[in-house]
Chain A
Amino acid sequence: MSHVSLKNLKKSYDGKTDVLAGINLEIEDGEFVVLVGPSGCGKSTLLRMLSGLEAISGGDLEIDHARVNDLPPAQRGIAMVFQSYALYPHMNVYKNMAFGLKIHGASKDEIDRRIKHAASILKIDHLLTRLPRELSGGQRQRVAIGRAIVREPKLFLFDEPLSNLDAALRVQTRLEIAKLHRDLNATIVYVTHDQVEAMTLGDKIVVMHDGHIQQAGTPLELYQRPANLFVATFIGSPKMNLLEGVVAEASATELSVTLAGGQLLKAEVDASRATVGDRVTVGIRAEHLWENNEGSERFTGTVNLVEHLGEANYLYVTLSTGQDIVVRGNGEREVELGQTLNMSAPAASFHVFDRDGQAFHRLKPGNLRSSKG
């Protein structure tokens, strides 16, 4: 069992400005938590505070209900995998993995057993006598993970472990890490700036920005019900389309917004706290705009750029109001530049954010694909 609890955790380098301003987070046993955010949001600092490499300025960090704020890394029962792998260059793979264990006085047989076990999980049995410099990037990454596994830690910490790998290897290693998590049933905290990694790996995603947690939840929650504008635009690719507007009518089941061009738009959100005349931002994801008139809310625009992905294409469209939006279209349909495109979306697919960027609760998220697919 390992349960990690962060209570009002703070970090400040100069005692005045907070790099992390009171982080509260519960990490359950066996949970895969991904900390994600743009660079400089404090996610790596938070991870280093969990590891003990960075001092905690305020609040409490508990692992298994014991306060570990002032314990050195080794006594917290954590293992960390670094972005640069940080393998000891002068030791072969076996010694790299054995080093920490030897220090802790594990017996030779025990060390050997654990290394063999980890090596077979990671399929690096044949590399044990090699030096790190004789390994490829992907192999080094596995050794680094192996070095963490042999310590049998309560908590694994990954600091952007895939960013030094090329695209193909990244996808493959991502799958392996997911499998590893399932097989070992390990508790993992994983830092990345890549939202695809976050969505694919995490049981729980913690989106961070400016030293604050913006939202924590399952990948689907974050996708369907982003709590604020930052999360809405950060999660999902391409970015969510945003349209400015003013509240025309508000109720607990529906919100009518007058968009910049005068068009009236209906969104199925709980708008009981909105008042008529408020400025709001309406969001719609590229994949929720259809190239037909089946949805209740309609738009017209001119296609000025097409990105072909094969199964789909992204159409960059300028609306009649001059606003640029992205639409995910059927990839096998020919679209001409300059062509006029009629689009629509159901009222349930819109996100609406108030003036402070906080989202109105969506009533019927999910399952919005048009019948034509």
Chain B
Amino acid sequence: MQHKATRYAGSAFTHVILAGYSILALFPIVLIAINAFKDRASIFDSPLSLPNSESWSLIGFEKAMKNAHFFSFFGNSMIVTVTSLFFILLFGAMAAWALSEYKFRGSRWLLAFFAFGIMVPIRLGTVSILQIMVSLNLVNTLTALVLVYIAQGLPLAIMILSEFMQQLPKELKEAARCDGVGEFKIFFQVILPLIRPAVATVAVFTMVPIWNDLWFPLILAPGEETQTITLGVQQFIGQYATDWNAVLASLSLAVLPVLVLYMFFSRQLIRGITAGAVK
């Protein structure tokens, strides 16, 4: 009996810790979400209260939508995130396959080179990146952002994916080779489907920093046409007066697409985990 009691106590403790962490992490998000639906006065009077019939207002969303560029900011963020993600996953998986499957001269050095990319933050190279982009005439284009984000995301993607690929039984590839399947087809039709959970993991880990990034959009593509949503929101923050309604509303909206993407990938994640569990 006592044994059972201690076990319950132990699991209760774990849950308290996890719940506490969740509250801590969710608090700012919830604060943004509830205040997005209030009028300006109520935001400052009682920031922690839920919107009621008196304080309810959609003025923030209206202002945000009225901004001529709001939707193009969204579009830019989507284009940059999805394109970068696609190429990171594609090139990352291909490089991981090459590094884990084929042993060639210098393959270990190449792997070390990619690992180096995880350790050194890409922002250290901002000045040189800007110089390169200027000389390539790519400043104020989405291409510039996509290129930088691919470089930023590749090392981690290669690390995680090659780890997974090494775990695939080698007979599978050999069976495919005996079947006369070409190396590209083996990669796309046998290997990729099997490491889908790993791909989803990488996608989630890479997607969020790209969507949230403020640094590179500010430096490489600050033009009206190419601003991403995180940069665009800054328009409502002024030196003297900040339109809090609009800021909070657009931030709430900015969470949505990435949330949808996350849900899409996490279903794959869970499917992968359960598929592995039942042999």
Contact = CB atoms under 8 A, between A and B. Distances in A.
Nearest to B169: A84
Contact of A103 (B185, B194, B275): B185
Nearest to B171: A86
Contacts, number: 63
A156 to B, nearest CB: 11
B160 to A, nearest CB: 20
Nearest to B179: A100
Interface stretch (A74-82, A193-201, A350-358): A74-82
A133 B176 CA distance: 18
Given A84-B169, A90-B193, A103 B175 contact: no
A86 B174 contact: yes
A74 B172 contact: no
Nearest to A89: B194
- Interface size range on A against B: 20 to 34
A330 to B, nearest CB: 46
A73 B194 contact: no
A51 B179 contact: no
Contacts of B279: 133
B241 to A, nearest CB: 57
A299 interface: no
A363 to B, nearest CB: 47
Contact of A51 (B172, B178, B182): B178
Contacts of B278: 133
A205 B56 CA distance: 87
B185 A80 contact: no
B173 to A, nearest CB: 9
Interface of B: 169, 171-172, 174-182, 185, 189-190, 193-194, 275, 278-279
- The 4 tightest CB contacts between A and B, nearest first, are A74-B180, A100-B179, A86-B171, A86-B175
Interface of A: 51-53, 72-75, 78-80, 82-90, 99-100, 103-104, 133, 147, 151
Given A84-B169, A100-B178, A133-B278, 13 more contacts: A51-B174, A53-B174, A53-B177, A53-B178, A75-B180, A79-B178, A80-B178, A86-B175, A87-B175, A99-B189, A100-B180, A103-B180, A133-B275
